[in-house]
């Protein structure tokens, strides 16, 4: 469980996050949605401790991050897995080496134990025959899956994904979404996902936080998002013809 | 026709001066800021070291990239420039009173004192320096450095320290450059008909001052440190995208060379002056 209290973040004069309070639950896929530029990535990077923030607090399972000692911070960080918007694979290493990296860094396992674990997670993301490829030789969807494998290889307690399915075809996108949800449920991870994809919302939005202009405009789940009257949300959700039709059918069905 | 100077002209001169002063103050503060950040980076390089088993492979890879990978070009340049130095020296000696061995002597002195340590380091600032800046810069723009930091890894130690260790082998490159430079001088001198082998060798052995070697290798070690850290600084702290990686490599080359030249002046006036 991650709790955020009154988070403020500025870059110079630009006030990007204007006081966000919310929480992300364990074993669930928590979605942060909102328009491009609404501050999703900045918010995620604050959660990860990549950005310093002026005001507010973030706590991981009750421990306020900024109050921890350096060793404790490293401890929390070694329990975090992150899938970056652009995958961020180490391009001097093969796919298997990328996935093995957190194990080499943070565990004392033997070479064969690590190898087994890498085989296991690569199999989990359906990449059985890509061990020796370089990241530059893999397609975008494969890179995303490698990034997910690297993020979960060391059994993290917290998983963060910045638009895990942007730039992928709808089918692969849904495969990736479902994969993240299964893993979240299986290992009881606290997962936070940035997205602006309505398909993801419908698939895996167990908890949804809607950001607009650096503020939390709405909070709910995939069950409630189609029922809300909140104009900011409906404006976003029904911006495409497809979802307008879905809504019309939904209303007709319920009459 | 009237040519009256409008009175806003004087006002504008003051305004202009003010803008200039503000501009230079800001530029100066930016330099100070950069220098401060650079020294903080040096400090962070030794903090929270990466696991040895991982560090070992990084160091070996950097030795391969930075040291082994530079041997070819350094050998080539040293050999031919050594030859040119010998030819130039002998062509400029027309006075029969000057002893024949001077060609070997002059070639040795210029290669050991300046050419090998300083000139080769400027070339390395281009070769190794831009490689370091662009590889670290690419890791910055593709969020690979963020990925390291999220995992709780000290990215500066992980990226810069292995390069620093690899470049402690830099004197090895410079020794080879010295040897091949003098050998190139010999080849040009003898086969070009500018002097005899005996004269050249006598010159090379003449009046040898061991402290000159110490001076050359002290310089080399300092340049090695500069070559490892300044390009890393420009790569690590860069902002932007692929275009900026190219720009950062250029800036890094310029500043690495400038610092090498200035430090060379400083060390020379301290040790030999
Ligand atoms: N490092 C930075 N320095 C200054 N401003 C920044 C920085 N990073 C983000 N911003 C600003 O913060 C705002 C929010 O950006 P952010 O990247 O969080 O958007 P986003 O919601 O993730 O958008 P997208 O869906 O397109 O990824 C933008 O106006 C952006 O210009
Ligand atoms: Mg974003």
For chain A, the structural domain boundaries read 2-223
pLDDT at residue number A21:
92
Q: How confident is residue B68, by pLDDT bands cut at 50, 70 and 90?
A: very high
pLDDT above 70 for B8? no
Q: Reading across the β-sheet that carries A14-24, which strands appear in turn? A: A14-24, A2-11, A55-60, A63-64
Measured distance CA(A40)–CA(A47) in Å, rounded: 11
Question: Which of B61, B138, B150 shows the shortest C-beta gap to A48?
Answer: B150
Paired residues of A5 in beta bridges: A57
CA dist., res. B147 & res. A217, Å (int): 30
Question: Does A30 sit in the ligand 1 pocket, CB within 6 Å?
Answer: no
**How many angstroms from the chain centroid is the CA of residue A4?**
16
The pLDDT assigned to A183 comes to 87
pLDDT above 70: residue B57:
yes
> Looking at residues B166-193, what average pLDDT do you find?
94
Per-residue model confidence (pLDDT) at position B3: 59
A86 touches chain B (CB under 8 A): yes
DSSP reduced 3-state for B101: coil
Distance CA A14, CA A228 (A): 31
Tokens representing B168 are: 């402690």
Q: Quick one: which atom of ligand 1 is closest to the CA of A214?
A: 14
Output the pLDDT for position B156. 96
> Which residues in chain B have their CB less than 8 angstroms from residue A76's CB?
152
Region B227-253 average pLDDT: 94
List of chain A residues with pLDDT < 50 = none
Nearest residue in chain B measured CA to CA from A48: B150
Give the class (CATH, top level) of A2-223.
Answer: alpha beta
Residues B256, B259, B262, B264: is their CA dihedral positive or negative?
negative
Q: Name the band, by pLDDT with cuts 50, 70 and 90, for residue B238.
A: very high
Please report the pLDDT score of residue B97 as a whole number.
79
- Minimum CA–CA partner of B144 in chain A: A88
> Ligand 1 pocket check: which of A39, A46, A54 to mutate, most ligand atoms within 8 Å of Cβ?
A39
Mean pLDDT of B72-100: 90
Among B51, B54, B143, select the one facing A84 at the smallest CB separation.
B143
Of the pLDDT bands very low, low, confident and very high (cuts 50, 70, 90), residue B5 is low
What pTM, to 2 d.p., does this model score? Answer: 0.86
SS3 of chain A: the string is: CEEEEEEEEEECCEEEEEEEEEEECCCCEEEEECCCCCCHHHHHHHHHCCCCCCEEEEEECCEEHHHCCHHHHHHHHCCEEEEECCECCCCCCCHHHHHHHHHHHHCCCCHHHHHHHHHHHHHHCCCCCCCCCCHHHCCHHHHHHHHHHHHHCCCCCEEEEECCCCCCCHHHHHHHHHHHHHHHHHHCCEEEEEECCHHHHHHHCCEEEEEECCEEEEEECCCCCCCCCCHHHHHHHCCCHHHHHHHHHHHHHCC
- For residue B140, the model assigns a pLDDT of 94
Q: Considering chain B, what percentage of its residues have pLDDT values greater than 70?
A: 96
Q: Nearest CA to CA, how far is A83 from chain B (Å)?
A: 9
| Ligand 1 centroid – CA A167 distance (Å) | 18
- Tell if the CB–CB gap between B151 and A85 is shorter than 8 Å: no
Apex A148 CA angle, A142 and A152, nearest 5: 145
Q: What is the mean pLDDT of chain B?
A: 91
Please check whether residue B129 is in contact with residue B135, taking contact to mean a CB–CB distance below 8 angstroms.
no
């Amino acid at each position: 469980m991650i709790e955020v209290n009154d988070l403020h973040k500025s870059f110079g004069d630009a006030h990007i996050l204007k006081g966000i309070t919310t929480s992300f639950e364990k074993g669930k896929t928590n979605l942060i949605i909102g328009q491009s530029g609404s501050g999703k990535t900045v918010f995620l990077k604050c959660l990860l401790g990549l950005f310093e923030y002026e005001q507010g607090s973030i706590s991981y399972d009750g421990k306020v991050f900024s109050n921890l000692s350096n060793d404790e911070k490293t401890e929390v960080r070694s329990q975090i897995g992150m899938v970056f918007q652009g995958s961020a694979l180490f391009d001097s290493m093969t796919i298997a080496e990328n996935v093995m990296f957190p194990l080499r860094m943070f565990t004392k396992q033997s070479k064969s134990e690590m190898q087994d674990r890498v085989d296991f997670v690569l199999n989990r993301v359906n990449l059985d025959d890509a061990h020796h490829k370089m990241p530059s030789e893999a397609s975008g969807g494969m890179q995303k899956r490698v990034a997910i494998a690297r993020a979960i290889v060391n059994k993290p307690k917290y998983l963060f994904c910045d638009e895990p399915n942007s730039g992928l075809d709808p089918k692969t996108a849904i495969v990736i979404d479902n994969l993240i949800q299964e893993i979240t449920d299986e290992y009881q991870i606290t997962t936070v996902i940035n997205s602006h994809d309505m398909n993801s919302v419908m698939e895996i939005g167990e908890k949804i936080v809607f950001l607009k202009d650096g503020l939390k405009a709405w909070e709910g789940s995939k069950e409630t998002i189609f029922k809300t009257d909140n104009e900011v949300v409906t404006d976003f959700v029904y911006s495409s013809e497809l979802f307008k039709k879905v809504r019309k059918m939904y209303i007709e069905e319920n009459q | 026709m009237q040519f009256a100077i409008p009175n806003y002209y004087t006002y504008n001169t003051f305004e202009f001066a003010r803008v200039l002063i503000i501009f230079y103050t800001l530029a100066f503060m930016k330099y100070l800021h950069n220098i401060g950040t650079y020294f903080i980076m040096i400090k962070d390089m030794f903090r929270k070291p990466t696991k040895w088993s991982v560090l070992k492979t990084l160091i070996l890879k950097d030795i391969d990239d930075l040291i082994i990978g530079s041997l070819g070009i350094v050998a080539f340049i040293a050999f031919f420039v050594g030859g040119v130095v010998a030819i130039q020296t002998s062509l400029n000696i027309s006075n029969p009173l000057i002893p024949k061995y001077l060609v070997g002597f002059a070639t040795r002195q210029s290669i050991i004192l300046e050419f090998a340590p300083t000139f080769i380091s400027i070339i390395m600032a281009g070769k190794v320096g831009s490689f370091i800046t662009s590889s670290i810069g690419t890791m910055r723009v593709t969020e690979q450095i963020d990925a390291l930091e999220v995992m709780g890894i000290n990215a500066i130690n992980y990226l810069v320290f292995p390069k620093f260790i690899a470049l402690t082998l830099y004197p090895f490159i410079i020794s080879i450059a010295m040897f091949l430079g003098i050998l190139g001088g010999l080849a040009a001198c003898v086969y070009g008909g500018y002097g005899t082998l005996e004269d050249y060798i006598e010159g090379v052995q003449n009046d040898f001052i061991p402290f000159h070697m110490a001076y050359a290798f002290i310089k080399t070690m300092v340049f090695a440190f500069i070559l490892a850290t300044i390009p890393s600084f420009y790569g690590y702290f860069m902002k932007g995208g692929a275009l900026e990686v190219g720009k950062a490599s250029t800036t890094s080359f310029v500043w690495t060379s400038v610092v090498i030249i200035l430090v060379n002046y400083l060390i020379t006036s301290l040790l030999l002056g």
